[in-house]
Structure 1
Amino acid sequence: MEFLLFSKYLILILLLIIINNIQQISTVPLVLDDPSSLYNATDKLTVLNYENFASMVYRSKTAWLIEFYASWCGHCRSYANTYREIAINAWTWKTVVRIAAINCNAGNLNLCRSHGVHGYPTIKLIPPGADFDNVTKSVTLSPDDAKDVTTELLTKLGDIHKKYKSWPRFTPVNRVIFEELYARVPSTTKLLLVIAEKRDDLTGRQIMLDFSQYHEQLSIFRTTTDGILWRKFHLNLTDVPALFVILHNRTAERIYVQQNIGNEFDNRNLFHSAIQSYIDKTKSITDFDDHEYEEMITSLYKLKSKEIERKRIKEQNSIDNDIDKNTVHRKVNMVDLELALSHIIRQEIPQMKKIQGEAYTALVQWLTVLVKYFPGREPVMNYLKHLLSKVNEQSTDLSGDKFQQIANIKTSDAYLPITYVKYQHCAGSTPQYRGYTCGLWLLFHTLTISQFEQKSQQINIPEIPKAIKGYIQYFFTCQQCRDNFMKETSNINQLNTKTKYEAVMYLWTIHNNVNKRLRGDVTEDPKYPKVQFPSKYLCPQCQIINANAYDVENTINFLVGYYSEKNIDSTLVLNESQDNENVQNRQDYIISKVESHNETRDHFNLFPIFPSTIPSFPLYSFIVFIVVVGLLRYRYCKAKRKRYTL
């Protein structure tokens, strides 16, 4: 009997250990504190990550509009205020749709890939009740301006609203009379409103969503110009949109709405104000509280004011070319090049679900260029050669997931470290600036200079520019950046293959064009403004005096010296200690466990009810205590039985 009791203790302990181990894997703090995130708690949206996505989004009672973005992506940073505006506009619609964003960094990569995200930013509308197995039912929206996205959101919600009884009725009630309206609303309805408008007008749907939290007391219908109900109101086309209350005696009374003179306010605000005033006057809604809408208006005003101020400062400030003194004296650092490579190989390329056809060809060409021209240390070059060899073996069936598995393989003499060292030459004033995109340009220039310095006379001039273009076209996930680069390189087939420095100057020209276009942009690091490179401070001989042009020979000499392997600072990567390597191995192991667990949990969603963290020390202390007590009790009882049987 005592043994059976002790067995129960052991079973309980084992269950606790299993649960704790699951939670320990899921709570590795990789993205909880994400300093590079474009959004935070002050924004009117939910910040998602691999830990809270399943519990909040899957099987939710509301729809979710989610922006999948990358914090390094210039267009994502430009778009952030637009998405903030979208979130603010939908702040009072939370009972129907919630707005969220997720940073597709290393910790969230598998989650973003499972949702079919191939470029940033991507906006998806996930319907209520969705789970991992039917995320394909999500709808992708174009990341346009706030008005266009809101219009598309309302349209998509209108397509699915009939499935959810508590949602507003977006479909116009045109073929009914006043007497029939009350038969269509809950018995708890205290106020019934009708908005008469043109069919493509959004005012009615916005107002329905604004007051959706009071759906048990307040019912709102919309009617359009092509039905019976419209004629009951005796309206002309110039009278719309118009607002009516349907009284319990089945008559209609028009509610005055201030005219939208000069478009100073949009119709949504005017109608909302009219309904709010009517409710306040009639006390028709119990516990009516409109502070969230007022909060929305205030937040929108603050956002617009900040944007106006930013543009004003941009117009007033002139940037001196010599302002880049902090940047130019830094050598190209191998840490930056390896970090850029790691991001390409471990995040960008694995983002694709399938790598086949032209994308596969582009990948092979890109890896070939890296193997031939990257000036890396021996283990990194061995790693790249191994990676290229493995990819060549997968010509018919290569997926992003399989590539990621290949990329994670390493040996003692072939590896590309996953380092947590910060960018050096490419360090930004805050984590949102520079970083990967700066490192990518460094890598591109370094490759062209490496080719230029080769002694062989048989140099394939277009090889590197075309490989770079192929990588950008198929794997670079910043969508607008990719589109712009494709335009910049539209003349790539016109390269002069007889001029050895052609690839060097071609890429340098494109980079300066990009800097010129982005100068003063919201994506620009205020500490390191976009300037024409090299500046007069860095290379006085490069720019022709009194002319907006560069001396080709002096510029080439400068670029060769600046990006040459001899000028690359490799101090940090060469001084890596064995201790750091051991620590990194443990971190790699944890990351692989997290990624594996994320895929399993996202697919099966077995443990959404557990808390996100369980303090391990108290739990293990409790387990040890139970085990000790159980063992002592078991031994005591066993000894006691022996005494009585003698």
Structure 2
Amino acid sequence: MGLAFQHFFKIILILSLYISYLHSASVDIQQRKYREVPQVQYASLYNASDEVEELTANNFDQNVYNSNRAWLVEFYNTWCGHCQRYAPTYKGVANYFKHSKDLFVVAAVDCANDINQPLCRYFDIMGYPTLRYFHENFLKGIKNFGVTVDKPSVSNVDENVKTVINTLVSEQKENRAQMLPNLLPYEHNDAFKIFDSVKPEIKYGFLILESDKSILGVDAALTFHNVSSISVRYSEHNEELSSSLEIKEFPALVILNREGSKVEEKIPRIEHAKRYIAAFLKQRDINVDKYIVIHNKKEILEAVKNVGQENLVSKVKEVGDAVFQMDLESTLRVSLGREVARNKVIDGEKLNALRAYLKVLIKYFPLGKRGYFFLNDLLSTVTNTESVSGADLYKLVKDSEKPEQLIWSSPKEWLGCIGSTPAHRRYPCGLWTMFHYLTVQAAERNAGKKEANPKEVLNAMYGYIKYFFGCSDCSQHFQAMAAERNMDKVSSLRDSVMWLWAAHNVVNKRLAGDSTEDPEFPKKQFPTAERCPECRYSNETFKEQQVEKYLRHVYSSINVRYMGSDLGILHMGLEKLTGTSGGGVFTSIDSIIRWLPVAYLGYIYARH
């Protein structure tokens, strides 16, 4: 009987090997099919049609350092919702200063681009977007990180332009920005003093008198800075000057003639000073058409799609709520390689948060044997030390990408979290997906364990978002929501799963209709009635017991989809079935039995 059982077991094992072989061939075919689909290429929030100059780690030094121009640089991240909302405003700022590019450049660096990681880390960029001003002839040196420009809380173009102008004015007060026209307020009470400190070829002086602080005068000075025969200045609250010129209604434009030492014109309550100046000069055969700035505040959303991209988005919408191994791995690679590694130094509470994050990943994130070794190596690197360098962590993550390491089973692309454009969904979607998956895994694996910490995953998520998530606005929102919704009072593994679900829907509600919303994937309360009809009452409120079942199903380990993933990497124990190591086929029976059922399930779900 024992011998017959051994023969029976061998037959079952051989059949299992055959199934695994078929599965491997199936995955290879699927990978080839997936790779035939045009992949989303790297794309920033700005393009050639914008007035924003893109900088990278390869050209930053040669452009910004020792330059005869000043630079305003936005350090941003493509996936950051706050950056996406700010991009139209920043384009407006760049458009405003486009005729001053010979003096002042509006530029941007995308920290989501791997090539820029060392640059963003060098400048200690801890949140997105971050604006830095680099004056002319700026020198590279220790802690020479430029001047941080605190952008207004509103996304109004004019308010942001005012902030930039105030920075330029402050620079001139410090005797820098001398290549710019004089942007300091005119403080004489004699209007003709405007000619005292200018070149002899200046024929006309234009004084814009303002009763309130505005950008009218600076705007005109910058616009016409290349017109060699004029000088444009402005005054603020200069009552003596206004009285001497008999100006009582503001803002006003006064045109002065050096040759005749007289006032040519006085125009009170002027709204379009630049247009009037241009018209005046045209009458005197001074062509200034190229200096007139016409602002177009209408924002145009450019959605560049190809056929393959459209088909892929369509397929993803058909699948609905699903977890793909590719999305989980891409999320983790961005999280570790870009978010965590962008920190120059990680210490104190930030280091504790990183340790907690890595411990949760080691416990619950779905990687193969070498992937777990990699995560354990990272944890060892940050353990028993008071600080760790982001550059050192980046090197470890970068090394993990080498094909021979066999750590990642998927290409660094997005599948279930793909968006209609490269700026939509992706990493934020992946982060939500990953933490939902982790809370469900913790609940499943710790069922019945009284010593299990129900807030283990939520605490790790909180620490990660507080200290490492690059979207500062998003991080603040999450921290506030954690306090408002009493995350610290979660007392069971089930509550952990449901707390995150409810929190996610709060965010979905807040962002519904937002400018960052993907039109192909609008923010809805999930699960939708279409995906889970039994999850809602007739009045559309949720049946939480059914929602919990739905979440445990969607984010279960056996429901992860492996399209485009190499299961040989995920289930590394299978390599021992080849008989190329040790004592042959039957030397690792325990390892084989442990991995085969998972591989078979992967085969089943990969086909669907």
TM-score (norm 2): 0.78
* CA–CA distance in structure 1, aligned partners of residues 49 and 289 of structure 2: 20
Match of 2:264 among 253, 265, 269: 253
Match of 2:369 among 378, 382, 386: 378
**Which residue does the alignment assign to 1:567?**
559
1:77 to partner: Cα distance = 1.3
* CA–CA distance in structure 1, aligned partners of residues 368 and 469 of structure 2: 25
CA contact (8 A) 1:194 1:223 kept: yes
CA contact (8 A) 1:381 1:414 kept: no
1:328 to partner: Cα distance = 4.1
1:252 to partner: Cα distance = 2.2
1:324 to partner: Cα distance = 10
Structure 2 gaps of 5+ residues are 1-39, 304-313, 571-608
User: How big is each residue's C-alpha offset from its partner over 1:97-117, in whole Å with a ceiling of 9 and x where there is no partner?
Assistant: 211122112111111222221
Match of 1:169 among 174, 182, 185: 182
What amino acid sits opposite 2:118 in the alignment? N
**Which residue does the alignment assign to 2:244?**
232
1:442 to partner: Cα distance = 1.0
**Which residue does the alignment assign to 1:109?**
117
**Which residue does the alignment assign to 1:368?**
359
The reply on whether 1:401 has 2:391 as its aligned counterpart is: yes
**Which residue does the alignment assign to 1:635?**
none
* CA–CA distance in structure 2, aligned partners of residues 574 and 539 of structure 1: 31
Structure 1 pair 441–282 and aligned structure 2 pair: CA distance change class (3 A): same
User: How big is each residue's C-alpha offset from its partner over 1:568-627, in whole Å with a ceiling of 9 and x where there is no partner?
Assistant: 12353335699xxxxxxxxxxxxxxxxxxxxxxxxxxxxxxxxxxxxxxxxxxxxxxxxx
Match of 2:208 among 173, 195, 198: 195
* CA–CA distance in structure 2, aligned partners of residues 34 and 557 of structure 1: 37
The reply on whether 1:56 has 2:63 as its aligned counterpart is: yes
**Which residue does the alignment assign to 1:205?**
218
Kindly, what percent of the aligned residue pairs are identical? 28
CA contact (8 A) 1:68 1:121 kept: yes
Structure 1 pair 137–557 and aligned structure 2 pair: CA distance change class (3 A): closer
1:491 to partner: Cα distance = 4.2
What amino acid sits opposite 1:402 in the alignment? D
1:493-572 equivalences under 5 Å are 493=486, 497-545=490-538, 547-570=539-562, 572=564
Q: Higher mean Cα deviation, 190-199 or 109-118?
A: 190-199
Structure 1 pair 409–174 and aligned structure 2 pair: CA distance change class (3 A): closer
TM-score (norm 1): 0.74
User: How big is each residue's C-alpha offset from its partner over 1:306-365, in whole Å with a ceiling of 9 and x where there is no partner?
Assistant: 58x99xxxxxxxxxxxx9982544631111111101111100001112211111111111
User: How big is each residue's C-alpha offset from its partner over 1:137-195, in whole Å with a ceiling of 9 and x where there is no partner?
Assistant: 33323254222221111111011224344422222332363554323111222322222
1:513 to partner: Cα distance = 1.3
CA contact (8 A) 1:121 1:143 kept: no
The reply on whether 1:218 has 2:218 as its aligned counterpart is: no
- Answer 1 or 2: which has greater helix percent: 1
* CA–CA distance in structure 2, aligned partners of residues 418 and 196 of structure 1: 66
Q: Higher mean Cα deviation, 131-140 or 490-499?
A: 490-499
CA contact (8 A) 2:409 2:565 kept: no
CA contact (8 A) 1:174 1:226 kept: yes
Match of 1:141 among 147, 150, 153: 150
User: How big is each residue's C-alpha offset from its partner over 1:391-412, in whole Å with a ceiling of 9 and x where there is no partner?
Assistant: 103x313122232234345599
What amino acid sits opposite 1:293 in the alignment? I
The reply on whether 1:77 has 2:69 as its aligned counterpart is: no
Q: Higher mean Cα deviation, 398-407 or 425-434?
A: 398-407
Q: Higher mean Cα deviation, 115-124 or 142-151?
A: 142-151
Structure 1 pair 165–65 and aligned structure 2 pair: CA distance change class (3 A): closer
**Which residue does the alignment assign to 1:291?**
290
CA contact (8 A) 2:131 2:149 kept: yes
CA contact (8 A) 2:408 2:569 kept: no
SS at match of 1:151: helix
SS at match of 1:351: coil
SS at match of 2:74: strand
What amino acid sits opposite 2:327 in the alignment? D
CA contact (8 A) 1:353 1:400 kept: yes
**Which residue does the alignment assign to 1:586?**
none
Structure 1 pair 83–412 and aligned structure 2 pair: CA distance change class (3 A): closer
What amino acid sits opposite 2:229 in the alignment? Q
CA contact (8 A) 2:326 2:414 kept: yes
The reply on whether 1:275 has 2:277 as its aligned counterpart is: yes
Structure 1 pair 576–243 and aligned structure 2 pair: CA distance change class (3 A): farther
Structure 1 pair 567–552 and aligned structure 2 pair: CA distance change class (3 A): same
1:567 to partner: Cα distance = 0.6
User: How big is each residue's C-alpha offset from its partner over 1:17-64, in whole Å with a ceiling of 9 and x where there is no partner?
Assistant: xxxxxxxxxxxxxxxx96421111111221222233222222222211
1:444 to partner: Cα distance = 0.2
Structure 1 pair 201–456 and aligned structure 2 pair: CA distance change class (3 A): same
Structure 1 pair 418–191 and aligned structure 2 pair: CA distance change class (3 A): farther
SS at match of 2:534: coil
Match of 1:344 among 326, 335, 350: 335
* CA–CA distance in structure 2, aligned partners of residues 384 and 413 of structure 1: 17
SS at match of 1:132: coil
Q: Higher mean Cα deviation, 243-252 or 148-157?
A: 243-252
Structure 1 pair 498–358 and aligned structure 2 pair: CA distance change class (3 A): closer
CA contact (8 A) 1:382 1:414 kept: no
User: How big is each residue's C-alpha offset from its partner over 1:60-115, in whole Å with a ceiling of 9 and x where there is no partner?
Assistant: 22211121111111111122111111112222222332111221121111112222
What amino acid sits opposite 2:378 in the alignment? L
* CA–CA distance in structure 2, aligned partners of residues 180 and 434 of structure 1: 58
1:476-491 equivalences under 5 Å are 476-491=469-484
Q: Higher mean Cα deviation, 113-122 or 325-334?
A: 325-334
Structure 1 pair 419–570 and aligned structure 2 pair: CA distance change class (3 A): closer
Structure 1 pair 243–327 and aligned structure 2 pair: CA distance change class (3 A): farther
What amino acid sits opposite 2:167 in the alignment? K
CA contact (8 A) 1:178 1:250 kept: no
CA contact (8 A) 2:274 2:292 kept: no
What amino acid sits opposite 2:263 in the alignment? A
Structure 1 pair 181–572 and aligned structure 2 pair: CA distance change class (3 A): closer
What amino acid sits opposite 1:45 in the alignment? V
* CA–CA distance in structure 1, aligned partners of residues 110 and 237 of structure 2: 44
Structure 1 pair 324–206 and aligned structure 2 pair: CA distance change class (3 A): same
SS at match of 1:541: helix
What amino acid sits opposite 1:401 in the alignment? A
Structure 1 gaps of 5+ residues are 1-32, 261-266, 311-322, 579-646
What amino acid sits opposite 2:196 in the alignment? A
* CA–CA distance in structure 2, aligned partners of residues 240 and 425 of structure 1: 56
SS at match of 1:253: strand
Q: Higher mean Cα deviation, 520-529 or 244-253?
A: 244-253
CA contact (8 A) 1:256 1:274 kept: no
1:447-466 equivalences under 5 Å are 447-454=438-445, 455-458=447-450, 459-466=452-459
* CA–CA distance in structure 2, aligned partners of residues 50 and 518 of structure 1: 33
Structure 1 pair 224–80 and aligned structure 2 pair: CA distance change class (3 A): closer
1:9-24 equivalences under 5 Å are none
* CA–CA distance in structure 1, aligned partners of residues 256 and 247 of structure 2: 15
Match of 1:241 among 252, 265, 271: 252
